[in-house]
Amino acid sequence: MKKILLSYFIYTVIVFGYFLYFYPLESFSDTKYAAIAHAIFFSKLPLVFILLYAVITKQWIKKWQTIFQWRNRLIETSMIGLFLLLLYRLIQLPFVLFWFYVTHAVGVSHQSLLDWFWELGLDLLLLWLALTALLLVFQLLVKKTERFWPLFLWLVTIPVAVFVIYVQPVWIDPLYEDFTPLPEGDLRTSIEALTAEAGLEDATLLQVDMSEKVTTFNAYVTGIFGNARIVLWDTTLEGMNQSEILFILAHEIGHYVMHHVYWGVTGYLVFALVLLVLIARVYHAIMRKKFPHTRLYDVRAIPVLLFITMLFLTVLEPISLYVSREMEKQADAYAIEHTEELEPAIEGSIRMAVQSKSDIDPVFWVKWMRYSHPPMQDRIESIKNAIEERETK
């Protein structure tokens, strides 16, 4: 274990050294903010595997069982899930605190430390409840049907996924932020004209109070089954002009028109089925070979299951990000097509990049691993190309 920790320390030094001194950063900011963000992301990446490897090889769960002597499976599974999450949060804490400092130092965030800790705690609580429920269902299904548990677990996740996506905008998001209806005025009238043209008269227009936390701009689309919501950050409303905001909204409307939310849910479910089948095959093989005396549903096998799951999620993440970037390109194309004056779109894109201090032209492997949207340089070039095409007609 000492060799692994030493190797990780050397890896982290190399990662930070590369991104701080050798990475070809393209940004409208004169800081290394985006490079530091990349360095923290790639430095944190191995942590979950190191933790789970330690838990498996050092038999920590067996030791926890000896110490606490849980007699109830519900309590045992939930507490082991909690311990693993707490350990993971603990080993991430130096990076998380460093990022908190960086975002405040460059002026991207001014969230209070108390509010920041509150959100960390809320994240932990929700993740713990979800993990506990998932593990309990997994144990029950494996115990009942060792061969077909991936299929049955997938069937269980379908209504859960739809429920979460439908309910999250209404019940979960407000736990973090304050949402209010978009006020009446020229902007709302113009937005309603856009939504009416796209056949989205039932979409709820909201603004969310983010100015107490950040200075960056954003807008997003969420909700399904008549629960559509178009949400604007109040920083966007305050820091961008109406033409720039309307282009952003046209982009979000494009997601609705092209049914990206539904395609996303469908893609997620297909991805989940393939993932569960792959995880099950590898999990069964490893347990038979390395842990032949441990039952598949035993709590001591949980770290093995989580290790395999996280490995597949990490390896397959670039595929998910690629699909997301393609959807964002389509939404950009819709916004360009339905916007008469495109110069404000360029100005707004530059303004967003300046405010977020982002890496506007990342190297390809950083884009594959991190970017759910096309890099800003690509998006600006798409708008410029559209302007040139219009001028030649």
Average pLDDT for 245-250? 91
Question: Sheet of 219-222: strands edge to edge?
Answer: 179-181, 204-208, 229-233, 219-222
Question: How large is the C-alpha radius of gyration of the chain?
Answer: 23
Stretch among 93-102, 176-185, 330-339 having the lowest mean pLDDT: 176-185
Question: What Å distances lie between residue 3 and 6, 137, 184, 289, 374, CA to CA?
Answer: 5, 37, 62, 25, 39
Under a CB-based contact definition with an 8 Å cutoff, are residues 143 and 297 in contact?
A: yes
Examine residue 54 and state whether it is found in any structural domain, yes or no.
no
Examine residue 313 and state whether it is found in any structural domain, yes or no.
yes
Give the per-residue pLDDT at 225: 61
With the CA atoms of 30, 36, 42 and 43 taken in that order, what torsion angle do they form, in degrees rounded to the nearest 10?
A: 160
Q: Which amino acid is at 184?
A: E
Residue 49, CA atoms < 13 Å, CB-side half-sphere? 15
- Per-residue pLDDT of 174-220, as tens digits, reads 888 889 998 888 888 988 888 888 777 677 889 999 998 999 998 88
Q: How far apart are CA 282 and CA 288, in angstroms?
A: 10
Q: Which domain holds residue 124?
A: 106-177+259-392
Average pLDDT for 290-318? 94
Examine residue 352 and state whether it is found in any structural domain, yes or no.
yes
Angle at CA 281, nearest 5°, toward 276 and 285? 145
Largest CA-CA distance found in the chain, in angstroms, rounded: 77
**In 3-state terms, what secondary structure has residue 207?**
strand
Q: Which residue in this structure is represented by tokens 């043209």?
A: 197
Examine residue 239 and state whether it is found in any structural domain, yes or no.
no
Examine residue 288 and state whether it is found in any structural domain, yes or no.
yes
Backbone φ and ψ of 186, nearest 5°: -60, -40
Average pLDDT for 13-39? 96
Examine residue 216 and state whether it is found in any structural domain, yes or no.
no
Examine residue 63 and state whether it is found in any structural domain, yes or no.
no
Q: Residues 146, 177, 238, 252: which is the catalytic one?
A: 252
Number of domains in the chain: 1
Give the per-residue pLDDT at 199: 76
Q: Express as a percent the part of the chain with pLDDT over 70.
A: 98
Whether residue 252 lies in the annotated active site: yes
pLDDT band at 168 (very low <50, low <70, confident <90, very high): confident
Examine residue 192 and state whether it is found in any structural domain, yes or no.
no
- Per-residue pLDDT of 340-369, as tens digits, reads 889 999 999 999 999 999 999 999 999 999
